[in-house]
Amino acid sequence: MTVTLERWGSFHLGGQRVVVQGQPLRQVQFAPGNPPTPLDPNGTYLVGGLYVQFMVPAPRRGAYPLLFWHGGGLTGVTWDSTPDGRDGWQHFFLRQGWATYVSDAVERGRSGWTMVPEVFGGAATYLPLENPWPRFRFGPAMGEAFPGQQFPVEAYDNFIRQCVPRFTSTDQPTLDAYLAELDHVGPSVVIGHSQAGQFGFRAAQARPDLVKALVLVEPAAMGDAALVRALAGVPVLLLYGDYIEGDARWPAMRERGLRFAEAIRAAGGSAEVVDLPAAGLHGNSHMVMMDRNGDQVAQLVQDWLAARGLWA
């Protein structure tokens, strides 16, 4: 299906100025054969910015834009194309008539970078090739897939090629940047994955007038329990894939999601939890949007949004 775009572009926004002091002068050879150039790393930096790519289809059928927020160690390409070359969720929802805004979080992808730990503290976390395979539930060990696995494991190297350093000390600037995006774009639906679960919940708690619905795919963390009442007017959908039972981490993480959803309902809100196997969708990994049946899951999300009057 061909998609006609009314507008297509990108922007950067958010961040703050930070002064770095006490660093030694460096001599840097910027190009082979050139003499070294003195570089003083001390000074004022603009840090914590966010990159956003937007596509607005014509005609539009979604009542609000969709903001796509990715997980840890990843970038906005999560929503673009799958590792084996299929169209991703950005394409699926564009074809349904939604405006899409796909971002690279702070210190990821095409967002600006700065010195770590000099500015944010902490250190970057890098994953060896063997780490994501069991952690994202592709299989019990590297090279061994679960029976019925929907993730295209033959394209695993392509998935690894899109992974980036993970920072554990940039949560607050990342949330601040997402809030800046909401303020810039206006009322929106937030679709978040994994690490972005906490950012989706906390952004909705901080801007309940701007988050019109919240769709979280296997959120790794929740919002502020003390502010759960702020979510009373924000419809929430939580999605969980397959192979969770028996996993070292995900039963407890899913249980936290169930408890938080119950707290939202107790506060007068709407929070629906869908276990994909119970809905007839089997074999999903943690990277649901990249799985071979990803469009079927996207259709479930589409139907959920339409049932809430957000699509015509």
In tens, the pLDDT along 143-176 reads 999 999 999 999 999 999 999 999 889 999 999 9
Architecture of 5-11+49-307 per CATH?
A: 3-Layer(aba) Sandwich (3.40)
Does an H or E element contain 271, and which?
strand 271-275
3-state SS, residue 73: coil
Q: How far apart are CA 299 and CA 312, in angstroms?
A: 15
Determine the pLDDT at residue 203. 98
Expressed in angstroms, the distance from the first to the final Cα of the chain is 19
Tens of pLDDT, residues 22-43: 999 999 999 999 999 999 999 9
Determine the pLDDT at residue 1. 77
**pTM attached to this predicted model:** 0.97
Tens of pLDDT, residues 61-120: 999 999 999 999 999 999 999 999 999 999 999 999 999 999 999 999 999 988 888 999
Q: What residues does each domain of the chain span? A: 5-11+49-307, 13-45
Contact 236, 285 (CB under 8 A): no
Q: How far apart are CA 199 and CA 68, in angstroms?
A: 11
Contact 208, 230 (CB under 8 A): yes
